Structure 1
């Protein structure tokens, strides 16, 4: 993979020009595009532009995020050729930091259930995950050093786990979702993919102009609470092994590690996440569902068909549970600095018809807390499996620093 930190260092030292760095990514995209299928389209003439910490950094943008210079088709026939007039704020933030947008990465249709044809770079017989399929795969295949995705259930953390890359789903609304096709306004969160935790931190820091997000050379030894999420069902053997491997590595490196049970209201929040998501989806997709029903992606259409019975009273009750759960979760962090949990049930499923189960991600999306995927082990078939480091709402710097600690512990 391409390290963003390494590219920045080489460019600063004059060992690599920004133009050459962009050219290397374009060459890699052109060579691998037909194999992996991570990009919907890319700009063969893209060049380094402007100034800033991300000058010379090629970035892929998930194709539900508006771009003014290339279409935003959302993986759906309804929007074939759709050309926004403006860049989404997150795209402008990248450009203002000096990054070069080289193309749009694949997404499941409307960032929902209907999969792409994108392949897992580690094993082409397996899914890269969804919905941010192309962004995770492009970073994993060493095409680009940085990519944007989005998460409503598990669409950043899960594909990062399946593809063996670092990723962050930041605190809710740290990155604006204006100009991003809405699925659920309570849940939708823009996230980043990169080769390592420090690379993710550099990208997020540059986008937000928050230097405190950069992981320092030395990080404090964290107090870690391990959460197995028993309320979400048992993981596969590879998922359980990843969590155990990361826990033991962190403990050997000096961290305080102990298992924590979540309050009952937090487990209840896990249960009601789909109520919030699907109730809001009916409003977000009202035009597509009512005016273009036959053209809707079939799996999403079926999901909306099945969830028509959710009432406003159901939704209001679910939102009250979410509020209480957020308060209860905040108190959990009085005991530990971060949580460590599963990023996915296990390794990427075989085949491309199913992008994997987000059941270990959806609670944390609803809670709005920062989540960082750290690759933990390689399972059978050469498939990566990750773990998730979670910090309190707004403590993204803490999440990144602790994830870097776990990442280093796993390497030693």
Structure 2
């Protein structure tokens, strides 16, 4: 096995034992990138010499953090002190802020090697699409907006990568690319230094190839309760199965993935119950759209005024309020979200987690359609933690995943559930 093939957890064990160095792991990832990126196009910026120098510095450190020696990709709308942050926008080509975003600084502080910047949908919001292809089929999208991060992890180029989610930009690409991802509770990871689209919705998340890898990053961010695993087995879990208000939009392969995951859990000894959400949740998808577009008006006003001719029409439309969002609408959406958050949290601890679709179906063909976020946006507005788990394959042989969801600030317990259920759900 080459070092690039290791999960983050497996690599960590070798790094801590001195049987692998950060430089050797970084070089192996760079070799994989050289082989695969001409097809996948996951990276918007990569300086192999800088990556190797960074790895050598990590190898010199005496105090070793939880991410010691692990190469990590950073979505190209999150600032890095020693690399450009372009946001995939012609306005910011070559821009280098000179300081790390909070999440990048924490990762470096825990010993990660920042390998490079991964391609993104413009401003992680709209406009230009990433050049990135799905590693399983280069004719298909890896999803968006965290296109490069998901594809890089799925293609073995890097064991970990940061993404963000405002609608479905972390969990949906994980489903399309057949990997694991975590969108934590809103606000538990400092988003300073990442391009702001919606202060109510924007959330830093991450990709990996195993639940234990997701946990390593969660430990770095000191998520609530992460130091005290529950240790529950599958047989001790009660899982709610939630089709949600948008079930009619799910393609057959996504419906099958949810039902298959539920059957596998039940066969493994978990208590599995159908969960119908209360009536207010019927309006939660529209509420997320109102919040997204209402807050997005101000997010791109600076570029609208200073670089109007270069700014993509998607963002000019947002600033000009093409959707006619009103103040009362926005206030109503906030109020509905608050009500639904209380209703959701009240479902726990009756359930250990809720199982629900991660995407509408397989990854669409082409680059322009990065997928419908309708099975993610409600959870983003509810501020709850979500973990993507691979489940099956669709009619074109592409990955189709599911996600488990917990209550606000139940991230650590949800990671424990993921560790228990992933071997059962991800059985193909």
Shorter-chain TM-score range? over 0.9
What displacement does 1:97 show?
0.4
Scaled by the length of structure 1, what TM-score is found? 0.95
Query: Whole-Å Cα distance in 1 between the matches of residues 223 and 249 of structure 2?
Result: 40
Distance 1:270 1:209 in 2: 27
The runs of 5 or more residues in structure 1 that have no matched partner are none
Contact 1:202 1:213 in 2 (8 A): no
Partner of 1:243, secondary structure, is: helix
Asked if 1:25 corresponds to 2:9, the answer is no
Q: Residue 242 of structure 1 is aligned with which of 250, 254, 257?
A: 257
1:83 pairs, out of 96, 116, 128, with 96
Distance 1:145 1:217, change over 3 A: farther
* Cα gap change, 1:213 to 1:292, in 2 (>3 Å): farther
> Which residue number corresponds to residue 362 of structure 2?
347
Map 1:3-402 to 2 at 5 A. Answer: 3-45=7-49, 46-47=51-52, 48=55, 49=58, 50=61, 51-114=64-127, 115-208=129-222, 212=226, 219=233, 221-231=236-246, 233-302=248-317, 305=320, 307-402=322-417
- Residues of 2 paired with 1:24 and 1:323: CA distance? 47
Q: Bigger shift: 131-140 or 215-224?
A: 215-224
Cα distance, 1:296 vs structure 2: 1.8
CA drift of 1:267 comes to: 2.3
Q: Deviations over 1:269-320 (max 9, x none)?
A: 2221110011101011111224323312244444555635211121111111
- 97-106 or 227-236, larger mean C-alpha shift: 227-236
State the Cα distance separating 1:217 from its structure 2 match.
6.9
Using the size of structure 2 for normalisation, the TM-score is 0.92
Conserved? CA contact 1:219–1:401, under 8 Å: no
How many aligned residue pairs are there?
A: 412
Q: Is the 8 A contact 1:157 1:343 kept in 2?
A: yes
Partner-residue secondary structure (3-state), 1:190: strand
Give the secondary structure class of the aligned counterpart of 1:380: coil
CA deviations on 1:38-61 (whole Å, 9 max, x unpaired) are 000112021321432212200000
Q: Note the C-alpha offset of 1:215.
A: 6.2
Distance 2:320 2:367 in 1: 23
Question: Which whole-Å deviations, capped at 9, do the CAs of 1:311-332 have from their partners, x for residues lacking one?
Answer: 1121111111111111111112
Q: Secondary structure at the match of 2:199?
A: coil
* Cα gap change, 1:399 to 1:100, in 2 (>3 Å): same
Change (3 A) 1:302 1:214: farther
In 2, Cα distance between equivalents of 1:373 and 1:411? 11
| Alpha-carbon distance in structure 1 between the residues aligned to 2:231 and 2:157 | 27
Instruction: Tell me if the contact between 1:2 and 1:195 (Cα under 8 Å) persists in the aligned partners.
Output: no
120-129 or 1-10, which deviates more: 1-10
Q: CA separation of 1:319/1:211 partners in 2, compared to 1, >3 Å: closer, same or farther?
A: closer
2: CA distance between counterparts of 1:279 and 1:172?
18
Question: Is residue 213–residue 396 contact of structure 1 (8 Å, CA) maintained in 2?
Answer: no
Quote the Cα distance in structure 1 between the aligned partners of 2:223 and 2:270: 30
SS at match of 1:382: coil
* Structure 1: distance between partners of 2:42 and 2:231: 33
What's the CA shift for 1:247?
A: 0.6
Contact 1:343 1:361 in 2 (8 A): yes
